[in-house]
Chain A
Amino acid sequence: MSRIVVTGIGVITALGDSAAANRAALKDGQCGISFLELFPSRYSETLRFGEVKISNEQLKQKFDITDKGVTRTSLLAIHAFEEAIEDSGLTKEQLASYDTALIGANTVGGMCLTDELYHDANNDTEGSEYISSYDIGSVNLYMQKRYNIKGIGNTINTACSSSANAIMYGARLIQHGLAQRAIVGGADSLAKFTINGFNSLHILSPEICRPFDIDRQGLNLGEGAAFLVLEKEEEVISKKPYVVLSGYCNASDAFHPSSLSDEGDGPYLAMQGAVQFAGLNTSDIDFVNAHGTGTVNNDEVESKAMSRLFETVPAFSSTKSNTGHTLGASGAVEAVYSILSLKHQELYPSLQFETAIESTGLKPLQEYIQQPVQHVMSNSFGFGGNCSSLIFSRA
C-alpha cells in the first residue's frame, strides 16, 4: 500500500483565517469564543460562540463571488479550500481532471438561512435565491461547479465526525486507484437550527467551555472550515509533504441517539482501529487532539476510553476550548491542528481547565510546549455513535 501524504492545508475558524493565523493563536493560547456580533439569534448576548468575524459580503468580495444562492457554509468552505489548493500548488487543470476527487462534509448545509428556509418550505414565497442551497450536498455541488471538478464528488454526514470520515474516504479513493489526489475536509456555519437543537438537549454551556474539567457545563458552538490535499507519496516527489496520514478507523458506539456509552466502546474501537491500521503500538502515540467538547457525557467517556486503550495516556488537549465546536468542520479543523503540531514539533494547550474529572483523573495539556512529536491522533465522535479517529505521522 502506498503512503498517503498531506500536501496542502487550509483552515478558517474563530481563531483566524489561515493555517498560519490559527497556529499563532493556538501557540498564544487565544480563545476565539465570544458573544455573537454577526449572526442574529435570541442568544447573541447570553451564550458564547466561536464565530468567524468576517461577514458574508466580505467573503464574497474576497473570492469575487457574484452567483446567487451561495450560503455562508459554502463561503467558509471555499475560503479553506482555496488556501489548501494554493498551498499544495494544484493547477486549474489538475483540479478539473477526472482523477481529482472532492470530498466534503457538513451538518447544516444552507440551513444557516433559517428564516429563508422557513418561508420556502412552508410555501409562502415565490422561492428565494437559496431554494437549491439548503441541503448538505449543496456545498460540494457548488464547489464542483465553481472549480470544474470532474472527479468523484461526495459529501459525508456523520454528525460531529463528518469531516474525519471525509478525510478517510478520500484516502481510500486514492488507495483504490479511484483518484490520484483528493481534496478533503468540511465546513459548518452557525445556524439557528443547530444552536436551538443543541440548546434543546441542554448541552450548550452558559460559560466558555471547559473540556475535561470536573465543572464543565457543556459545549460552545463554533463555525469554520478546513480542507486538506491528499496525494500518494511516490507521485509528489517534488513536493515537501507536511505529514503522512498513517491510520484511520470508523466505529459505531451503538448505544444512544445523542450520548455515548458509559465505557465508550465506540471511541475505544475507533482509536484502537486507527492505531492498528497504522501498524503502531499505543505507546507510539505522542499526542491526542481529543474530541473534548466540554459536555458532561463526552469528556468523561472519552477519558475512560483513552484510559482503556493507553497504558499511560499520552499528552492530550481539546482545541474546542479555542474554536468552539465547529461540528461538521471539526474533524478537518483538528486534523489541520494535528498536522501543524507535527510540522512545527509543538503542542497546543487546552484552555479553561482547572480540576480533573474525579473518576479518571486525566488532565489535558495546559501550556504550549515544543517537543519531538512523531505520531498524533485526532478524535471525532458524533451523535448517533459515529466515532472516528485519524493518525498523522511525521513524513
Chain B
Amino acid sequence: MIYVHQIAAVSPQRDLLVETIDEVNESVNNILKVVEPPYEGIPLSILRRMGKAVRMGVGAALPLIKNTTVPLNGIVIGTANGGMEDCIKFLNQVIEFEEGTLTPTNFVQSTPNAIAAQLSLLSSNKGYNITHVNRGLAFENALLDVWMLLKENPSHTYLLGGVEEISSYNYNIDHLANWFKDEEVSNKKLYHSTSKGTLSGEGAAMFIVNNDPQDAIAKIDALHLMHAEDVSEVKSQLIHFLNKHLGKGELVDVFLSGESGDIRFVSFFQNCEHHMKDSTIARFKHLTGDFATVSALSLNIACQVVNKNILPDHLIKINRHKHSVNTVLIYNLHKGVQHSFMLVRK
C-alpha cells in the first residue's frame, strides 16, 4: 500500500481530468503532443541543455519537490526511451560527420537516467536514484520499486514518475513497426476505429508517495505486472488479482481500461470488461495517446477521480452509475505483451 500526497503531470491536455470532450485537445497527424508549461522553476542555464523528456520530467517534478515539507529519500523514474530526440540527434551527427568531432550535449542528455539524475542534481538529493526502462512496464517497475522501498523504510518519502517523449524519430521507428495507424484518426474518435495501430502520445506524471495516510490524495493498494500473449491468461490473472486484493463483497467502481483503438488487441480489453460486470468501464487514451509509460498518466487520472469523485462523461464507455467512486482498477497493455493492473483507492 502506497499513499499518494502530491501529483503533477505534463500531458497533451492542460488538465488530464478535462471535464468535457469539447475541451479535449485534438491530435495532429495521429500524434498527441504535450502542452509544455513555462518551466519557471528550472534555471535557464540548465534548461538550455535539456531535451524534451528531461524538461517534461523535471518540469513536472520540481514544483512537487519544492512543495514537499518532508525530506525526499529518493527518486524513482520509469522511462522506456528517455531523451530519444537527443539520442537520434547524436546518432545523426555520428553518421553525418563520419565519427568526427561531435558535440557531447546530446549524448549526455540522451541517456534514460538523465531525468532522475537531473532531478537529484537540482534538488541536491543524494538518496536512492534509479531509472527503470523495461519498455511498457518501465513505470510499473518503478512503482514496484517504491512499494518495496516503503516496506524497507516505512518512514521514507519518494518521488515516483513516468516520462516519455515522442520525437519524429521514434514515431518513425514505431510507425514502421506497425504500432501507429496509417490513416488519420482523431483522438476524439479513437475508439470507433477498426484498423490496426493506435495514436502516438507523450507525457510525464510525477507523484510524491509515502506510508502516511494523513491528507493523502489517494492510495495505491495493489499492483500486478505480467508478460503474456494469451487472452485467457490475462483474464485468469485478473480474477486472481481481484480475489487477492478485494474484500468480501467489495466491488471495483471504475475499470479504467487502456483500450487504444488497435483492433488487434481489442479482445484483451473485452475479456477483462466482461469480467467487470458491476463496474463502470472507462477509457483514457484519447487524452494521452499511447506510449510505453502512459500508465503513469492513467495513475494520475485515477488519483484525481477518487480524490475529486468526478468521472467526466467522455471517459465513460459503459455507465453503471455509482454515487461515489472509491475504487479504480487500471488495466494497461503495451504492444500486445506487457500487461499491468493497478488498484487505486480513495
**What is A's interface to B at a CB cutoff of 8 Å?**
41-43, 107, 111, 114-115, 117-118, 120-123, 125-127, 131-132, 134-138, 140-141, 144-145, 149-150, 152-159, 165, 169, 172-173, 175-176, 178, 192-193, 195-197, 199-201, 250-258, 265-266, 269, 382-386
Contacts and interface: CB of A to CB of B under 8 A. Distances in A.
B227 interface: yes
Please classify the interface of chain A as helix (H, G, I), strand (E, B), loop, or mixed, using the class held by over half of its residues: mixed
Given A121-B91, A140-B134, A383-B117, A196 B173 contact: no
Interface in B141-198: 141, 144-145, 148, 151-152, 169-170, 172-173, 176-177
A154 B139 CA distance: 10
A65 B116 CA distance: 36
11 contacts: A42-B98, A132-B177, A136-B80, A150-B227, A158-B131, A159-B113, A175-B148, A196-B90, A200-B102, A382-B113, A386-B130
A201 B98 CA distance: 17
A255 B123 CA distance: 10
B129 A137 contact: no
A173 B145 CA distance: 9
Interface of B: 75, 80-82, 87-88, 90-95, 98-104, 107-109, 111-114, 116-118, 120-121, 123-135, 137-138, 141, 144-145, 148, 151-152, 169-170, 172-173, 176-177, 225-228, 292, 337-338
A169 B145 contact: yes
A256 to B, nearest CB: 7
A343 B104 CA distance: 42
Given A159-B113, A252-B120, A384-B116, A153 B227 contact: yes
B129 A200 contact: no
B117 A127 contact: no
Contacts of B133: 135-137, 155-157
A200 B104 contact: yes
B102 A383 contact: no
Contacts of B225: 152
A157 B112 CA distance: 7
Contact of A252 (B75, B93, B338): B75
Contacts of B129: 158, 250-252, 384-386
B132 A156 contact: yes
Contacts of A254: 120-121, 123-126
B126 A252 contact: yes
A338 B107 CA distance: 31
Contacts of A250: 128-130
Contacts of B93: 196
Given A41-B99, A140-B134, A197-B90, A120 B104 contact: no
Given A136-B81, A150-B227, A386-B113, 10 more contacts: A111-B87, A117-B88, A118-B94, A135-B81, A141-B337, A153-B137, A156-B132, A165-B130, A252-B126, A254-B126
A286 to B, nearest CB: 27
Given A258-B108, A382-B113, A131 B102 contact: no
B61 to A, nearest CB: 14
A157 B79 CA distance: 10
Nearest to A153: B227
A323 B138 CA distance: 30
B102 to A, nearest CB: 4
B134 A127 contact: no
Nearest to A1: B152
Contacts of A251: 126-129
A152 B126 contact: no
Nearest to A132: B177
A384 B113 contact: yes
A149 B92 CA distance: 36
Nearest to A387: B129
B107 A127 contact: no
Pairs of residues from A and B, 9 with the lowest C-beta to C-beta distance, nearest first? A384-B117, A137-B135, A127-B176, A197-B107, A252-B129, A42-B99, A121-B169, A200-B104, A252-B120
A298 to B, nearest CB: 16
A165 B133 CA distance: 12
Nearest to B177: A131
A117 B173 CA distance: 8
A135 B135 contact: yes
B206 to A, nearest CB: 17
Contact of B176 (A120, A155, A159, A258): A120
A282 B12 CA distance: 51
Contact of B126 (A120, A134, A150, A265): A265
A158 B172 CA distance: 26
Given A193-B91, A250-B130, A141 B98 contact: no
Contact of B91 (A118, A137, A156, A266): A118
A172 B228 contact: no
Contacts of B123: 254
A199 B113 contact: no
Contacts of A385: 117, 120-121, 129
B104 A201 contact: yes
Which of A135, A140, A141, A173 has the most CB atoms of chain B within a 10 A radius of its CB? A135
Nearest to B107: A197
Given A111-B91, A200-B107, A385-B117, A120 B227 contact: no
A144 B135 contact: no
A43 to B, nearest CB: 7
A317 to B, nearest CB: 27
